[in-house]
Amino acid sequence: MTRKSDSVTIRDVAKYADVSVATVSRFINKNAPVSQEVAERIQQVMLDLSYKPHAAARHLATRRTQTVGLVLYNMHTDFFAPLLSGIETVVSENQYNLLVATYKSPILCQGQSPVGPHNTDGMLVFADSLNEEHLTQLCRSKFPLVLIHRTPPVYLKIPFVTVENKAATRKIINHLIEDHGCRSILFLRGLREQEDSHWREQGYLEALETHGISFDPNLVLDGEFNSEVAYENMKNFLRHNHRKFDAVFSGDDDAAIGVLKALNEAGVRVPEDVALVGFDDSRLSPFLSPPLTTVRAPTEEVGKTAARLLFNLIKEQPAEPVTLLPTEIIIRRSCGCLYEKTIR
C-alpha cells in the first residue's frame, strides 16, 4: 500500500480507509465530529501512505492560517526575550506558528501592514506598535486582538494585559526615601507615549508628594527604556549640571545599565555615593556590579496570558477584558542594602 507521499491524495486516504473524501476532510480539518473508530482508521492509513495534508488546502477548507501575529516597535532590548518566550510557549501548545513584525504606527499609513487578517488568525499588539486608527479598523472587522502593556481606546472592547506600574514605583521610591534617607532622586522617564512610562512617572511623583519632597523638573531626564539613550543623557547631565542628587530611578533596567556606566565613568560610586534602582528585573540585573535593586515584573507571564486570551478569541470563547498582573520589589545592593530580599 505504500506510495510516494508527494503522489498521495486525500482520495487515496479515503479509498484505503473505506470512507468518503468528506469524512477524511472532516477528520483533517477538525470542523465536524468523526467517530473514534473511523478517526483511528484514517490516522493509520495516513501513516501507512505517509500522507501530509497540504497546508494551503487546509487553509482554504478551514479559513485558518494556523498562525498568530505579534507586533512590536523593536526587539533590541533584553526586556523582550521573556515576553517572546511566554508567547511562544502558548502558541506551541496550540500547534500554531508565530509571525513577528517590528515597526511603528506611521508606517501603516503607507500601505498594508505585514501582519493582519490576510496572513494570521489573530494578533498581539505591544504598546503603541499600532495606531488607534488601525486598531479601530481591525476591531470593527471582528479580527481577534489582544493588547500588551496598553489599554484600548475607550470605544473599543479589546482585551489587554499589563502589570502594576504606579504602586510598584511608589514602593521603590518610598524605600529610597524611608530606608536610605534619599531626598533628591533623579528620574529617567521612559518613552513619553507609553503607558508604562506614564504610570511609573505618576508613582514617582506621588512618592515625592507623600514625603513632602518638592518635584524638581531639572531632575528628570529622558531614558526612553534604552541603555544608550540613558547613558548619553546621564553623561551630559553629570558634565553640565551641578545639581546634587543622592539616588536615580532609571525607569527600567535597560536604562539602568546606561546610567551605571555613566556614573562609573564619572567616578560616582553606586551605592556609596548614589543609589540606583530600576524596573522589570531583567536577566542581567542580578549580575550587574553592584546587583540592581528593581521592580520584578512578570514579563513572561504577561506573554503567556496575552496569548491565552488571544486563543480564547480565536476559538470564540470568552476572554477577560482586563488583566493587571502584580509586581514586587527585589532589593539588592545598588540601593545601599546589604542583603537581597523581596517586598510584595
Distant-in-sequence contacts of 133-137, Cβ < 8 A, 24+ apart: 133/108, 134/105, 134/108
Task: Indicate whether 52 pLDDT > 80.
Answer: no
**Average predicted confidence (pLDDT) for the chain:** 90
Task: Indicate whether 233 pLDDT > 50.
Answer: yes
How confident is the model over 109-155, as pLDDT tens digits? 445 667 888 899 999 999 988 889 889 999 988 999 999 999 999 99
The region that residue 17 occupies, defined by phi over 0 for left and psi between -120 and 50 for alpha, beta otherwise, is alpha
Q: Which helix (H) or strand (E) holds 235?
A: helix 227-240
Q: How far apart are CA 250 and CA 225, in angstroms?
A: 8
* Residue 224 to residues 33, 150, 228, Cα–Cα distance (Å): 52, 17, 9
**Ranges in the chain annotated CATH 3.40.50.2300:** 67-163+299-326, 166-297+329-343
CB 293 within 8 Å of CB 331? yes
> Where would I find the beta strands (DSSP E) of 112-158?
123-126, 145-148
How many Cα atoms are found within 13 Å in the side-chain-facing hemisphere of 333?
A: 10
Task: Indicate whether 6 pLDDT > 90.
Answer: no
Least confident segment among 23-37, 254-268, 317-331: 23-37
How high is the pLDDT of residue 31? 61
Assign 58 a pLDDT band (cuts: 50, 70, 90): low
* Residue 209 to residues 183, 206, 288, Cα–Cα distance (Å): 11, 5, 31
* Residue 152 to residues 28, 73, 212, 265, 340, Cα–Cα distance (Å): 37, 17, 35, 42, 37
Looking at the DSSP bridge assignments, the partners of residue 146 are 124
CATH 3.40.50.2300, applies to 67-163+299-326: yes
CATH number, span 166-297+329-343 = 3.40.50.2300
Give residue for cell 537581597.
Answer: 340
Mean pLDDT of 236-245: 91
CATH topology of domain 5-62: 434 Repressor (Amino-terminal Domain) (1.10.260)
Task: Indicate whether 63 pLDDT > 70.
Answer: no
Looking at residue 142, what DSSP letter applies? Answer: T
Q: According to the per-residue pLDDT averaged within each range, which of 34-38, 45-49, 56-60, 91-95 is highest?
A: 91-95
How high is the pLDDT of residue 46? 87
Task: Indicate whether 54 pLDDT > 80.
Answer: no
Residue 271's CB is within 10 A of a number of other CB atoms, namely 19
Residue 136's CB is within 10 A of a number of other CB atoms, namely 16
CA proximity to 19, closest of 1, 45, 53:
45
Task: Indicate whether 333 pLDDT > 50.
Answer: yes
How high is the pLDDT of residue 40? 87
Task: Indicate whether 103 pLDDT > 80.
Answer: no
Q: How far apart are CA 86 and CA 59, in angstroms?
A: 26
Q: How far apart are CA 121 and CA 182, in angstroms?
A: 51
Please, which residues have CB within 8 angstroms of residue 242's CB and are 6 or more apart in sequence?
Answer: none
Specify the 3-state DSSP secondary structure of 38.
helix
The more confidently predicted of residues 164 and 60 is 164
How confident is the model over 150-207, as pLDDT tens digits? 999 999 999 999 999 999 999 999 999 999 999 999 999 999 889 999 999 999 999 9
What is the residue type of 19?
V
CB 286 within 8 Å of CB 334? no
How high is the pLDDT of residue 59? 53
Find the angle CA(129)-CA(231)-CA(176) to the nearest 5 degrees: 90
Paired sense of beta strands 247-249 and 97-102, if any: unpaired
**Ranges in the chain annotated CATH 1.10.260.40:** 5-62
Least confident segment among 40-44, 149-153, 229-233: 40-44
CB 251 within 8 Å of CB 279? yes
Chain centroid to Cα 250, Å, comes to 20
Please, which residues have CB within 8 angstroms of residue 298's CB and are 6 or more apart in sequence?
Answer: 163, 325, 326, 327
Find the angle CA(173)-CA(168)-CA(301) to the nearest 5 degrees: 145
How high is the pLDDT of residue 82? 95
Looking at the DSSP bridge assignments, the partners of residue 97 are 67
